[in-house]
Structure 1
């Protein structure tokens, strides 16, 4: 059965650009939403995923980062928010071939104080026994295909003041990723690439 998310991607207007050793893919979904993904050319893994944001009046207000580092880049991608303390915990998400990964920087507490759990509200929740940190993480890659996080797929470790949470991808997600990549590679091989809106 094809998920609604996969149908949206397959029906999107897709533009592919190879630049700086990356495959940059712009998706214009049928509902007008825009997404850009950057793939590692060698591994075909998503390194960055950003979404164009609009305000309640439909005016473009820049891009928001879902996958990859949130710092502003030379691409003029705007990041919402205010200046935070350099000691504030910062969450970034990454993707590997087999896992979803979150890194929470600026967490100085030892490994044994953390509990990382799959919750009924479909989040992965981080708690510390010293009550110093609490965070709920939405797992958007699972939400989009109608899956909930499973406890047995979660592992974590703490090193260099960073909590690294790893979620092993289920077969359903691997299958969707494979089909999306196949669509992108098909377009790349059959169409002349155009200028990507975010380069």
Structure 2
């Protein structure tokens, strides 16, 4: 089963963990050189960040790519970053999951709810959001579903709109919920450093 294969991949990675400012931060280094960082709220075990980095074709370190969360959602960045973030009126697409669903938010979309539609393209294994006024169009996949090779289900996809933000929700299938529980059990077995004093490694 693909979900089991992904779990084994996580178990086989080199891992370091630290608890800092109420967040459990776990760094994974995979045999192929890819790195993944996940952050969980200690109080709720809710995943707040998942980001990836791999070397480019010349072997130089690449930039962090956010799968869950966003670069500016954490500590205050540079003044330039703040100005860009605050002054931008372009739609901003980010993923912020809940316990039971994958969830994406598209900020700066002022149009009424009736203009939006969400569909699934089964052949391309992606979700599509579009507006009838042709003002916004976005294709995106669900990496968790791809890693576990699970089929997408149109009935699991829904959306709502409030405060200029489109919220798209995909209900997690049972296989994903079970996988996430197993991953959490593995992480809680790890020794973690408090407040970032030391990072403890485990296999």
Please classify the TM superposition score into its range, dividing by the shorter chain length: 0.7 to 0.9
Secondary structure of 1:188's counterpart equals coil
Q: State the partner residue of 2:138.
A: 135
1:15 shift after superposition: 1.1
Structure 2 residue aligned with 1:68: 69
**TM-score normalized by the length of structure 2:** 0.84
Show the 5 A alignment for 1:13-162: 13-71=14-72, 74=75, 86-120=88-122, 121-162=124-165
Cα-to-partner distance string for 1:1-31 (whole Å, 9 max, x where unaligned): 3532222101111111011111010111122
Q: How many angstroms apart in 1 are the aligned matches of 2:38 and 2:54?
A: 15
In 1, Cα distance between equivalents of 2:15 and 2:62: 22
Shift of 1:130: 1.2
* Matched-pair contact (CA < 8 Å) for 2:34–2:55: no
- Please identify which structure carries the higher helix content: 2
CA contact (8 A) 2:33 2:55 kept: no
Gaps of 5+ in 2: 78-83
RCO higher in 1 or 2 (8 Å CA, sep ≥ 6)? 2
Contact 2:107 2:164 in 1 (8 A): yes
Q: How many residues align?
A: 187
Does structure 1 conserve the Cα–Cα contact (< 8 Å) formed by 2:127 and 2:139? yes
1:70-118 deviation digits (Å, cap 9, x = unpaired): 3285598xxxxxx797121110001111011000011111101111011
Q: Which residue of 1 aligns with 2:80?
A: none
Kindly provide the CA deviation profile for residues 104-143 of structure 1, in whole angstroms up to 9, marking residues without a partner as x. 0111111011110111211110011111111001111111
CA contact under 8 A between 1:53 and 1:64: conserved in structure 2? no
The residue aligned with 1:195 is: 199
Q: Distance in 1 between matches of 2:113 and 2:76?
A: 37
SS at match of 1:70: coil
When normalised by structure 1's length, the TM-score is: 0.86
Task: Return structure 1 stretches of 4+ with deviation > 6 angstroms.
Answer: none
Alignment partner of 2:151: what SS? coil
Provide the rounded CA distance (Å) in 1 between the counterparts of 2:182 and 2:59: 31
- Unpaired runs of 5+ in structure 1? 77-82
